[in-house]
Structure 1
Amino acid sequence: MYQTTIKKPVELVGIGLHKGSAVKLRLEPLDSNSGIIFYRSDVDVAIPLIPANVVDTKMATVIGRDGYIISTIEHMLSAVYAYGIDNLKIIVDADEVPVMDGSSASFCMLLDEAGRQELDAPKKVMKIKKDIIIQEGDKYVKLSPSPDLKYDFTIKFAHPVIQKQEYVLHFNKQSYREEISRARTFGFLHEVQYLRSKGLALGGSLENAVVLDEKKVLNPEGLRFPDEFVRHKILDAIGDMALIGMNFVGNYEAMAGSHDLNHKLTLELLKNPENYEVIELVGEKTKELEKAYA
């Protein structure tokens, strides 16, 4: 199995979540071993997707370089990861990726339009060799060895619509498209009002997020899944784990995980080479590993 990029450049325009302004997003192919590179066309700054370039994880995963940032990258990356794209240039003309409908469905459609192109270098995946856990109070995120890839996420909210939800995704491109990609980001009305008072979430609306008051969902169309909240948390986690730099094989487990805990997990994983093994997907022995990314 070989590394991939997209067949042709594609682009879209959407609203930025925090500033509420139009943002142009363009995807372009890259050669083997280039990785994922973000580029701010408005200031001519390239920001490679590596953990060292993460500058904020409070409300979204934010990368930066030389004082310039790109925010809310996780939904786009979640789709790129699920499609097994190894090398890609992601161009935006502002400091955030457009939020679209709050899920990764629009990015999946964009990647479908772009197509996938095999390159000349073997695809690499990271095999998790040891248990790695980041825990803060009763919240934790964990990676553990496994012959396949599974995301197991649990959330608890003292809200009548959410309460406790758990979802297990047996990962492949098809299961991601059908079970995860349409799950939208969510927030509470009092949080949105506070953020707007600080000049943030100006682009947030019922068109791009599930919003709840103290008792109910405010979106007139309701939920896309009864457990849309935990499914979106898996969507976020997949995007955050893309910071590893390649697809991985192992189990991801979380209890009330967050962007911040996911970032700390990637740093802990990469800190010690004994935690993982990088495998080139060549030969019969890797056939099983190839299935998730076919």
Structure 2
Amino acid sequence: MLSQRTIKNKITCSGVGLHTGKKVKLTFHPAEPNTGILFRRIDGDKVVDIPATAKNVGETTLSTTLVYGDYKISTIEHLLSALAGTGVDNCIIDCDGPEIPIMDGSSTQFVFLIQTAGIVEQNAVKKFVYVTKSVQVQRDDAVARIKPYDGFRVTFTLEFDHPVYNKYPHSASIDFSQTSFIREVSRARTFGLMDDLEKLKKMNLALGANLNNAIGIGDEDVLNEGGLRFADEFVKHKILDAIGDLYLLGHNLIGEFFGFKTGHSLNNQLLRKIESENAYKIIEIDEIKDAPINYLKPLIEEAI
């Protein structure tokens, strides 16, 4: 049986929010089958549950933010990408602040935490979002599109009018039935122009940004010691973001995503259109050999 997954043990981490600059602690808990990914704000007078769903996204300025009443949890996309990439279906995440910590700017430290906690299979069949027809949203020349595909493939093209970006690949296409999220995408860091940093800080954004958690782009080259982790790190980070945003559909996706200059806002519009047009169905896959995605094997070979 191709089973749903959760983590075996509770695990905790802490870090600084990219935009708030505030320290925050996360605690990951195992969850029952069919729970999905559930965030909980635990720093108020009461515990507030915010399921990771497209309809709960209330803000998309430079990150994806879940909103429930007066409570927010922002910059969720890197963590969701790690959960999607490791095939974790069910997890409860306690957060004592308004933003997920940025860690090193990629998903790799979240992947490490998930692996350290242990991935365990559950006595429930894994569910997938199976795309049944093409859906597209567009704003000016930016496009986000999904279409049927027997597997999970993400293709992205970015376009920035800057000499440093022009030194590196603008496009990438990854078929996750042929390779793994951990190998190809998880280490790709967020990035930005250093000239924009002071402008963002005046807007109370990027208050926690530095060269330890983001790629800084100067006038002529990348400013981080050691440069890029791989030549197409910019576009692969956009793929990482898209995978995290797509996981707000509630399950791993069977389909092909195409993005051109898209970001969190357009990605969320696409998800809402997929749902409103019923362009998908929820399916179960019984046999591991029929899985359309190359998953990390569970580190704990047992079912609960």
What TM-score do the two structures reach when normalised by structure 2?
A: 0.92
CA shift for structure 1 position 226: 1.3
CA shift for structure 1 position 172: 5.1
CA shift for structure 1 position 174: 5.5
Q: CA separation in 1, counterparts of 2:179 and 2:93?
A: 23
Deviation by residue 1:4-59 (Cα, 9 ceiling, x = unmatched): 11111111111111222221111001101111100111122110111121010121
The reply to whether residue 280 of structure 1 matches residue 281 of structure 2 is no
Is the CA contact 1:169–1:175 (under 8 Å) kept in the aligned structure 2? no
Q: Which residue of 1 aligns with 2:301?
A: none
Q: List aligned pairs for 1:114-193, cutoff 5 A.
A: 114-163=117-166, 165-171=170-176, 175-193=180-198
Q: Percent identity?
A: 40
Q: Relative to structure 2, which stretch is displaced further, 129-138 or 95-104?
A: 129-138
Task: Select the residue among 112, 116, 123 that pairs with 2:115.
Answer: 112
Task: Select the residue among 213, 226, 234 that pairs with 1:208.
Answer: 213
CA shift for structure 1 position 80: 0.2
Q: Which residue of 2 aligns with 1:243?
A: 248
Amino acid aligned to 2:130: K
The reply to whether residue 6 of structure 1 matches residue 7 of structure 2 is yes
Distance 1:290 1:2, change over 3 A: farther
Q: CA separation in 2, counterparts of 1:63 and 1:93?
A: 14
Task: Select the residue among 87, 90, 99 that pairs with 2:90.
Answer: 87
Secondary structure in structure 1 of the residue aligned to 2:24:
strand
Structure 1 portions without partners, runs of 5+: none
Structure 2 portions without partners, runs of 5+: 298-304
Q: CA separation in 2, counterparts of 1:123 and 1:287?
A: 13
Amino acid aligned to 2:203: K
Secondary structure in structure 2 of the residue aligned to 1:81:
helix
Secondary structure in structure 2 of the residue aligned to 1:63:
strand
The reply to whether residue 77 of structure 1 matches residue 80 of structure 2 is yes
Secondary structure in structure 1 of the residue aligned to 2:99:
coil
CA shift for structure 1 position 220: 2.2
Is the CA contact 1:2–1:119 (under 8 Å) kept in the aligned structure 2? yes
Amino acid aligned to 1:112: Q
Deviation by residue 1:145-165 (Cα, 9 ceiling, x = unmatched): 111111110111111221361
Q: CA separation in 1, counterparts of 2:96 and 2:293?
A: 36
Q: CA separation in 2, counterparts of 1:95 and 1:248?
A: 28
Q: Relative to structure 2, which stretch is displaced further, 191-200 or 146-155?
A: 191-200
Moved over 6 A (4+): none
Q: Which residue of 2 aligns with 1:54?
A: 57
What TM-score do the two structures reach when normalised by structure 1?
A: 0.95
Distance 1:245 1:13, change over 3 A: same
CA shift for structure 1 position 289: 2.5
Secondary structure in structure 2 of the residue aligned to 1:126:
strand
Q: CA separation in 2, counterparts of 1:265 and 1:245?
A: 14
CA shift for structure 1 position 260: 0.6
Is the CA contact 1:161–1:217 (under 8 Å) kept in the aligned structure 2? yes
Is the CA contact 2:151–2:177 (under 8 Å) kept in the aligned structure 1? no
Secondary structure in structure 1 of the residue aligned to 2:130:
strand
Q: CA separation in 2, counterparts of 1:103 and 1:86?
A: 20
Q: CA separation in 1, counterparts of 2:255 and 2:277?
A: 16
Amino acid aligned to 1:154: T
